[in-house]
Amino acid sequence: MSSEPKKLWGGRFTGAVDPLMDAFNASIHFDRRMYAADCIGSIAYAKALAKNNIITEQERDQLIGGLEKVMVEWENKTFELKAGDEDIHTANERRLGELVGSVAGKLHTGRSRNDQVATDMRIWLREEASSILAHLKELISITVNRADKEMDVLMPGYTHLQRAQPIRWSHFLLSHAWLWQADAQRLEQLIDRLNVLPLGSGALAGHAFNIDRDFLAKELGFRGIINNSLYAVSDRDFVAEFLFWASLTMTHISRIAEDLIIYSSGEFGFVKLADAYSTGSSLMPQKKNPDSLELLRGKSGRVFGSMSGFMMSYKGIPSTYNKDLQEDKEPMFDAADTLSGSLQITAGVLSTMDIFPDKMRASLTADMLATDLAEYLVRKGVPFRETHHISGSAVKMAEDRKVSLHELSNEDFKSLHPSFDDDVAAVWSFETSIENRNTPGGTSKSSVTAQIKQLKSWLADGKTL
């Protein structure tokens, strides 16, 4: 009799498998990271088998003890992979047999790798997504606290990358914090949706031994079971949704990275990254490159690529489980790793970055108050469509004379409309312009303070949806 390890699926096969096919089929080199989820799921399954008298309590305890030893070996990096360990499930079951003997063969009663891997993935992603959520909330907290401390810093606000209206630096920071809060809420919803149990569905048709699936769900921390076995073993929507979530969140990280790359350039000089998040040039000694931000910007494309690649694999799969689904794990793992690292790097950049308020304020120019000039006339009773045109005429007058808008005389303004008076001089205050934007969501001090309070309250609440 051959001493080579048996394939879990190999009963009807007598011919040797092409070694290249063995390597092509194997997933142990990447799915091994689900070792804990696989052991935890198997421990719960052993309990359910005993609960239904499929195995004895003694056999249950043997299996649990063995699985706990397997998990410790993985944690201590002493687990030894062997030929034939094509995936984490095969490797763990093989090692369990070495530890507890033939009783290990009873663990798979009624269970398929189809429902086993679907369960492992949901357990793994649930825990990993919860960790990512914590990193995301830490990033939001750092951003909100910085906004609170730097409330009085004024800067240009931009549209089309052109100076538009004066805003608070804090308002800019919070615009990104609100994007990330929406990301956090979506991730909470995603965790809740994926937290349903496929185990007990068998290969596709259900379980033949009346396993208590509600018990399994409770034991493994799932909020319920998946109610259709065909759906349970083939569903990877939770992977697709996570990859979309990761792509969108990385897009938001990429956007602030782009802003800060621009603001750190010599032409702007608004911010300076800490040395820990910068590099130099191999040729030009004066250079300080924002490599951390450029990498963040670049990795958004990597994550999006993982999503689009998986969707192309997923779209044409017939019911129910097909081997194409082996392509679900690497993009999921890579996206999770990239998000975890990217969120922590972004937090590091924002917590250590220096800002230059004087440079920001020096970039504020009177032409940015052209809208305020139009609003001045609105307060005098002139319709806005007229005031917009009048203000535009004032801008052109200043350009033609090669002077700043605020350098036009009162007589110049009165020549454009009789409603202008000597109090037009009050328009040329950036602080007043900002404080006039005092509705909820605006850039005034009261509005920004309210935003900070809202986000701090949400962070302190700590509840998931």
Return the active site residues.
160, 281
Nearest-angstrom CA–CA distance, 265 and 67:
56
Across 160-248, where does the E strand assignment appear? 162-168
Give me the residues paired with residue 399 across strands: none
SS3 168: strand
Cβ-in-10-Å burial (0-12, 13-18, 19+) of 343 comes to buried
Angle, CA of 339, 122 and 90, to the nearest 5°: 110
Kind of pairing, strands 154-159 and 271-272? Answer: unpaired
Distances (CA, A) of 366 to 25, 157, 372, 387: 67, 13, 10, 17
The answer to whether the CB of 330 falls within 8 A of the CB of 87 is no
- 């830490």: which residue's tokens? 138
Angle, CA of 170, 187 and 256, to the nearest 5°: 30
Nearest-angstrom CA–CA distance, 85 and 94:
8
The answer to whether the CB of 335 falls within 8 A of the CB of 124 is no
Nearest-angstrom CA–CA distance, 380 and 377:
5
